[in-house]
């Protein structure tokens, strides 16, 4: 009888200990889940905050660029035109040379306004698609010292407009950076379709930069990466000092 009672007591203690262990496990597990959930929410908030900050910086950078274009290009030209008109109006006789100079100034102003308008909103993209818009973009960058080469699969025009305009902005940003910072003489742009995947590459023969130095990762690069994420494209960047810069995008 005593042995039976002892067995019951031992079994009860074991059950109590096991129940306590289970309770402790579930409490710890729930606490861990709550901590993980809080951590996930914190990371999501930090990510959202970073995206917002990057977006604001990109907008401010675009506004600064537009303001700089107007100030450095249109401003002086318009002032020169005004001065020329004032000079002509004060003279009784106007030479053909003066008229020709004035016409040339006006033509340059119209050209600058058209270029600025295209950079703000590419109408060609909306009317004819990404292929034609990129070819037009390359023609605007082509000069005696810079050659832009394009190879574009017409199938890219079949994707939605939102994706097209983001890809256009990415390639536009790359060309701007290559010209401004890369000091390149050649830019190659390729858009190809491999079965169901689009592969977009752009590379230059410029001076490149040290990728390990985070200070080289400016707003322009973050802009390209953020736009890639927005359209679910993988974004890859390659560069080295003296070896040019390359970006690659892959549809997912």
Residue 156, domain CATH: 3.30.565.10
Regarding whether 145 and 113 lie in a shared domain, the answer is no
Regarding whether 32 and 10 lie in a shared domain, the answer is yes
SS3 for the chain is: CHHHHHHHHHHHHHHHHHHHHHHHHHHHHHHHHHHHHHHHHHHHHHHHHHHHHHHHHHHHHHHHHHHHHHHHHHHHHHHHHHHHHHHHHCCCCCCHHHHHHHHHHHHHHHHHHHHHHHHHCCHHHHHHCHHHHHHHHHHHHCCCCCEEEEEECHHHHHCCHHHHHHHHHHHHHHHHHHHHHHCCCEEEEEEEEECCEEEEEEEECCCCCCCCCHHHCCHHHHHHHHHHHHCCEEEEEEECCCCCEEEEEEEC
Regarding whether 94 and 201 lie in a shared domain, the answer is no
Regarding whether 83 and 129 lie in a shared domain, the answer is no
Residue 60: per-residue pLDDT: 57
Residue 165 structural domain: 122-252
Regarding whether 231 and 113 lie in a shared domain, the answer is no
Residue finishing a domain among 101, 120, 139: 120
The domain total for the chain is: 2
Residue finishing a domain among 66, 90, 120: 120
Regarding whether 162 and 220 lie in a shared domain, the answer is yes
Regarding whether 167 and 156 lie in a shared domain, the answer is yes
pTM score over 0.75: no
Residue finishing a domain among 88, 120, 152: 120
Instruction: Show pLDDT as tens, one digit a residue, over the chain (252 residues).
Output: 455 555 555 555 655 555 555 556 555 556 666 666 666 777 777 776 666 666 656 665 666 666 666 656 666 666 666 666 766 656 555 566 766 777 777 777 766 666 666 666 677 888 899 999 999 999 988 888 899 999 999 999 999 988 998 899 899 989 988 988 888 999 999 999 998 899 999 999 999 998 888 776 677 788 888 888 888 899 999 999 989 999 999 998
């Amino acid at each position: 009888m005593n042995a039976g009672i002892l067995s019951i007591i031992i079994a009860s203690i074991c059950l109590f200990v096991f129940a306590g262990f289970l309770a402790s496990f579930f409490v710890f597990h729930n606490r861990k889940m709550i901590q993980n959930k809080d951590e996930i929410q914190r990371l999501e908030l930090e990510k959202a905050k970073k995206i917002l900050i990057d977006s604001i910086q990109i907008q401010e950078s675009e506004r600064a660029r537009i303001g700089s274009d107007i100030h450095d290009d249109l401003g002086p030209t318009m002032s020169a035109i005004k001065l020329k008109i004032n000079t002509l109006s004060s003279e009784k006789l106007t030479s053909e040379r003066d008229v020709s100079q004035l016409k040339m100034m006006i033509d340059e102003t119209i050209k600058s306004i058209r270029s600025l308008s295209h950079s703000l909103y590419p109408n060609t993209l909306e009317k004819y698609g990404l292929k034609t818009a990129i070819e037009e973009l390359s023609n605007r960058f082509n000069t005696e010292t810079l050659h832009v080469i394009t190879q574009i699969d017409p199938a890219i025009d079949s994707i939605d407009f939102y994706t097209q305009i983001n890809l256009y902005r990415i390639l536009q940003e790359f060309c701007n950076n290559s010209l401004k910072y890369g000091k390149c003489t050649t830019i190659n742009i390729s858009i190809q379709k491999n079965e169901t995947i689009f592969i977009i590459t752009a590379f230059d023969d410029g001076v490149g930069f040290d990728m390990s130095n985070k200070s080289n990762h400016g707003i322009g690069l973050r802009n390209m990466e953020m736009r890639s994420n927005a359209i679910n494209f993988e974004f890859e960047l390659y560069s080295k000092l003296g070896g040019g810069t390359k970006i690659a995008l892959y549809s997912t």
